Amino acid sequence: MLLITCPHCGERAQAEFTYERPVQTVIALDAPVEVAVETLYNRANPRGWSWELWRHTHGCGAWLKLHRHTATHEVAAVALLEAGA
């Protein structure tokens, strides 16, 4: 990893970015309680590819979606969050 390509800023040091959570653990506002609890607390925690929410905290501040491998640290894709995502 070490370098992450921000769609706005280009290649930047990993230290500028903050990991937030796996994309699928974002809770829908109208989710029923059981679904919300399950989504909030239980993690697939894969050893492999994962879509994650990151933020370019110490850069442009954008929220990003990273397709990242949790063992090799390869980043296959970095995308901006779309409206409503």
Partner 1 sequence: MKRYSAFNLFREGLNGHKGWGPAWRSPEPARSYDAVIIGGGGHGLAAAYYLAKIQGLKRIAVLERGWIGGGNTGRNTTIVRSNYRQPQIQRLLEFSLKLWEGLSEELNYNVMFSQRGALFLGHSDSDMTRLAERGDALRCNGIDAELMTPGQVARLIPLLDMSDRARFPVHGGLIQRRGGTARHDAVAWGYARAADVRGVDIIQNCEVTGFDIRGGRIAGIRTSRGDIATDRIGMSVAGASGQVAALAGFTLPIESHLLQAFVSEPVKPMIDTVIMSQSIHCYISQSDKGEVVLGGDPDLYPTYSQKGVPYRLEEVAGQAISLIPALSRLRMLRSWAGTTDMSFDGSPIIGTTPVEGLFINGGWCYGGFKATPGAGWLLAHTVATGAPHDINAPFGLDRFAAGATVDEQGTGPMPQAH
Q: Is 70 in the site for partner 1 (CB under 8 A)?
A: yes
Q: Is 22 in the site for Zn ion (CB under 5 A)?
A: no
Could you tell me how far CA 27 lies from the centroid of its own chain?
14
Q: Is 84 in the site for partner 1 (CB under 8 A)?
A: no
- Give dist(CA 3, CA 58) in Å, integer: 14
Give burial (CB, 10 Å; 0-12/13-18/19+) of 10.
Answer: exposed
Q: Can you tell me which residue has the tokens 């994650």?
A: 52
Give the nearest distance from C-beta 61 to partner 1 in angstroms: 18
Number of residues lying near partner 1 (CB under 8 A)? 24
Residues 29-68 that bind partner 1 (CB under 8 A): 37, 40-47, 50, 52, 54
